[in-house]
Chains A and B, each alone.
Chain A
Amino acid sequence: MTGGTLPAAHAAIQLAEVQFRWQARTPLVVDIPQLAVAAGERLFLRGPSGSGKSTLLALLGGVVTPQHGTVEVLGQPLHRLGGARRDAFRADYIGYIFQMFNLIPYLSVLDNVLLPCRFSRRRAERVAARGDAHAEARRLLERLGLGGALPARAATELSVGQQQRVAAARALLGGPELIIADEPTSALDADHRAAFVELLLAECAALGSTLVFVSHDRALEPLFHRALCLTELNRAGTAAAQP
């Protein structure tokens, strides 16, 4: 099952003949002939561990480049860019949500949310365009149900569910074009899970961001535009995905 063939200009993500291995003599962990995600699309990506999921996200985030093939994100050929350019691109255009431990323990909730502004001038400016950065961060937190005195608290004082919502606020701050969420709900219980995903989807829709959402939880699938299974997408298949 592969995505539709949108023209590159309208695609948020366009992968072609991508092959990646961590080291020269290790087997391929990613071998994807074709993957396209349209701008504004909210994609559900299902894949068991070992399906090359983390590596695919690393490729999309520009942390690594493939040995073969092309990775275009928001029209940028990441496979051709140098490390510093890819880091800058990630800072400017991508919001990232981890499975857990998303927050820097020595920063307050608010400072964690504002973190992207420290590394990306573009996102700082986009936030500033909507008014004060702190106010915008507070607004996002409030939308995610983290109002009141919470923003000033230490990140470590929050529950796991709250921490994931803070991570979502951080990823959304400055309205990056692409949000990548790597099993963001796996540490949450069922009630919080649905609520979290609905909030995330609503915010992405409001910002017009493309969302790539990785999860095992098929119950969430209906909430997305489209669902893909990584084992079908990735020919490298079931080999160990991690070095």
Chain B
Amino acid sequence: MTILSLTLRSLLNRRYTALLTIVAIALSTALLLGVERLRVEARAGFAHTISGTDLVVGARSGQVQLLLYAIFRLGNPTSNMRWDSYRDIARHPAVAWSVPLMLGDAHRGFRVLGTTPEYFTHYRYGRGRTLEFAAGRPFADVFDAVLGADVARQLGYALGHDLVISHGTGAVSFVQHDALPFRVVGILAQTGTPVDRTIHVGLAGIEAVHLGWEGGAAPRHAPTAAAVRAMELTPQAISAALLGLESRLALFGLQREIQDYAREPLTAVIPGVALQELWDLMGVAERALLAISACVVGVGLLGMLTAILSGLNERRREMAILRAVGARPLQVFALLMSEALLLALLGTTLGVLLLYGALWLGRPLIEAQWGLYLAIGPLALREWAVLALILGTATLMGAVPGYRAYRYSLADGLTVRV
């Protein structure tokens, strides 16, 4: 108590240096914690690109590949799965709901996804958040389209806008299904997932634009919209399907069953597991960022060490005085040590406050921009560990001036050196 109050007075006496040191530690701590939190949230956000879906099923391929085209709309399926197989699996007693996905076409570089209206109720992201409509409604008619938030913003489309789907997935296509334009009936709210960059239409719509294309060339006489609406448009095949189960207990059983499906080779992946695998592929940048932040904290603490050490020589007479009134060399050591610890403690505390301030201010911005929802919760165990590490390092560093002061006080005794 004696030493701590002396430390406080001493620091107060050097308040500007102390304040600068504290601010340096605070900023670096806030940076490190911020990066750590963003990393965790980004990882969680990524892992929650899709949630609520228990299995993603497609033709036989690698699980990352299936995930890439089914969820991230990247690349193309090597082959499709048959509609019969899909119907068969969808009728399995363990399956609660299923949503078919059909990919392969695009509009000005944005992927067009053929699906069913159930997609809008069953597709979940984040911690079970459902898709919300910023405007309009789900598709109902064959030629209705629902745009992801990025699509609508970047192309400047509003409700009622007509768009033409091009064959293939390139940004510039010379083969346009321009006889049958789609009309925008809904625009989704920002999600921060690939849904934002997707144009959603009904399965029938995809079938309709391909009518007469079976040979691979444009049909000479494209059917009119009215004629198409009268047709029974059931696809022969789909790219993939999302499945929700009655009980997650059946998950591994059903996955095995689908992998061993007799009539056609299929792959079923558990999205969370595959997403984790995918994230680990990209983890290098994340770790580099964390390492840099840790270095910044190191620099902040070194600044503290410099500040304490540079003042040490001037304080030798202070130590002699303390020795004269009965301070033990260990107490002199503690005086310097507690100074480092106190600076670090105040610095990290301020850093945590800064972090929460920044989170509070930045959250709406980050959510609007990247759809990344930052929870402002208490510090996670890992974050406490980071703080403990910073304080531990500061204590170790404080031992350096502490030890020097200890040596001084033994060597100087009661001689006041100036």
Please give, as numbers and ranges, the residues of chain B lying within 8 Å of A182 by CB-CB distance: 414
Partner of A92, one of B322, B326, B418: B326
319-356 of chain B: CB within 8 A of chain A: 320-329, 331
A102 to B329, CA, bound (A): 18
Contact indicator A84/B328 (Cβ below 8 Å): yes
Q: How many residues of A contact B (CB 8 A)?
A: 34
Task: Let me know if B416 is at the binding interface, CB within 8 A.
Answer: yes
43-90 of chain A: CB within 8 A of chain B: 54, 57-58, 61, 63-64, 83-84, 87-88, 90
Contact indicator A99/B414 (Cβ below 8 Å): no
Contact indicator A98/B318 (Cβ below 8 Å): no
Contact indicator B323/A115 (Cβ below 8 Å): no
Please give, as numbers and ranges, the residues of chain A lying within 8 Å of B329 by CB-CB distance: 83, 87
Partner of A90, one of B2, B324, B416: B324
Given contacts A83-B329, A98-B324, A105-B318, whether A119 and B2 have CB atoms under 8 Å apart is: yes
Please give, as numbers and ranges, the residues of chain B lying within 8 Å of A92 by CB-CB distance: 326
User: B408 to nearest A CB, angstroms?
Assistant: 13
Contact indicator B317/A63 (Cβ below 8 Å): no
A233 to B324, CA, bound (A): 25
Contact indicator B413/A91 (Cβ below 8 Å): no
Task: Let me know if A100 is at the binding interface, CB within 8 A.
Answer: yes
Task: Let me know if B236 is at the binding interface, CB within 8 A.
Answer: no
Number of A-B contacts (CB under 8 A): 79
A118 to B14, CA, bound (A): 22
Contact indicator B318/A104 (Cβ below 8 Å): yes
User: A84 to nearest B CB, angstroms?
Assistant: 6
Select from chain A the residue with minimum beta-carbon distance to B412: A63
Interface SS of chain B: helix
The number of chain B residues touching the other chain, given as a range, is 20 to 34
Task: Let me know if B310 is at the binding interface, CB within 8 A.
Answer: no
Contact indicator B9/A63 (Cβ below 8 Å): no
Contact indicator A116/B326 (Cβ below 8 Å): yes
Partner of A57, one of B317, B327, B414, B418: B414
Contact indicator B324/A96 (Cβ below 8 Å): yes
Task: Let me know if B369 is at the binding interface, CB within 8 A.
Answer: no
Task: Let me know if B13 is at the binding interface, CB within 8 A.
Answer: yes
153-169 of chain B: CB within 8 A of chain A: none
Contact indicator A54/B415 (Cβ below 8 Å): yes
User: B315 to nearest A CB, angstroms?
Assistant: 9
Contact indicator A119/B321 (Cβ below 8 Å): no
A57 to B414, CA, bound (A): 8
Please give, as numbers and ranges, the residues of chain A lying within 8 Å of B318 by CB-CB distance: 104-105
Partner of B416, one of A101, A115, A243: A101
Task: Let me know if A150 is at the binding interface, CB within 8 A.
Answer: no
Please give, as numbers and ranges, the residues of chain B lying within 8 Å of A116 by CB-CB distance: 325-326
Task: Let me know if A204 is at the binding interface, CB within 8 A.
Answer: no
A111 to B326, CA, bound (A): 15
Contact indicator A98/B416 (Cβ below 8 Å): yes
Contact indicator A98/B2 (Cβ below 8 Å): no
Contact indicator A120/B321 (Cβ below 8 Å): no
Looking at B12, B326, B328, B414, the one whose CB has the most chain A CB atoms below 10 A away is B326
User: B402 to nearest A CB, angstroms?
Assistant: 17
A208 to B416, CA, bound (A): 28
User: A140 to nearest B CB, angstroms?
Assistant: 15
User: B230 to nearest A CB, angstroms?
Assistant: 92
Contact indicator A101/B13 (Cβ below 8 Å): no
Task: Let me know if A194 is at the binding interface, CB within 8 A.
Answer: no
Given A87-B329, A170-B325, A243-B411, 15 other A-B residues pairs in contact with their CB atoms under 8 A: A58-B414, A61-B414, A63-B413, A63-B414, A64-B413, A91-B326, A92-B326, A100-B416, A105-B13, A105-B318, A106-B10, A116-B326, A119-B2, A120-B326, A182-B414
4 nearest A-B residue pairs (beta carbon): A91-B326, A106-B13, A119-B326, A96-B324
Name 25 interchain pairs, CB-CB below 8 A, sorted by A.
A54-B415, A57-B414, A58-B414, A91-B325, A91-B327, A96-B414, A98-B324, A98-B414, A98-B416, A101-B416, A101-B418, A104-B321, A104-B322, A105-B13, A105-B318, A106-B10, A106-B13, A107-B9, A115-B322, A118-B6, A119-B2, A119-B322, A119-B327, A120-B326, A170-B325
Q: Which residues of A contact B (CB under 8 A)?
A: 54, 57-58, 61, 63-64, 83-84, 87-88, 90-92, 96, 98-107, 111, 115-116, 118-120, 170, 182, 242-243
